[in-house]
Amino acid sequence: MWVTVYFNRYGNPATGLIPIVKIRELETGDVVVSGTMSEVGQGFYKRDFPEYDITKDYLILCDAVTLANEYRYKAAATGEYGTTIHDVNLISDGIDIRVALIRKIMTNRQESIDGNSENLVLYDDDSATPLLKWNIKDPYWQQVIQDHHIPAKRSRGA
């Protein structure tokens, strides 16, 4: 996985920096990557993270070192679905994470229930933990009421 970041100085791309990145495994707090980032150009910098494990969550802090405090730090967090803190402008490559989510959407247990609020539930791999919930309505924008002969559940792997 590549960790990329954009730094600016007063709204202009900040070039010529030698940013430092620290990546911590969330569960243990251990620093798993610490070092400098390479300049890509136009204010962008990168660092490869080949040890990235899709099953773990990480906290990422990029420090531009020489920029004023309001421009100096960029932070992000990875999660199972590539969740990042967008308001601090850190961009990460989450292709493996997205593939895992797509697999879960296509294969894991789903259940729909009557109503119109969080009435379609996708469960995680254990078939018990709700992973995602959607609000669905019928074609007339009314609450869903299921007929007796319509399947309301999909088992894992179906």
Tell me the per-residue pLDDT of 22-68, one tens digit each, with 9 for 90 and over: 999 988 999 999 999 999 999 999 999 888 877 788 889 999 999 99
Q: What is the DSSP letter of 115?
A: B
Same structural domain, 69 and 115: no
Q: Is residue 157 part of a domain?
A: no
> Higher-confidence residue: 127 or 154?
127
The reported pLDDT for the residue numbered 83 is: 42
Same structural domain, 91 and 123: no
Same structural domain, 6 and 25: yes
CA 109: distance to chain centroid?
Answer: 22
Same structural domain, 61 and 35: yes
Q: Which domain holds residue 123?
A: 108-148
Q: Is residue 156 part of a domain?
A: no
The reported pLDDT for the residue numbered 50 is: 87
Q: Rounded to whole angstroms, how far apart are CA atoms 10 and 119?
A: 47
Amino acid making up residue 22? K
pTM: 0.53
140 pLDDT tier (thresholds 50, 70, 90): confident
Same structural domain, 132 and 89: no
User: How many domains are there within the chain?
Assistant: 2
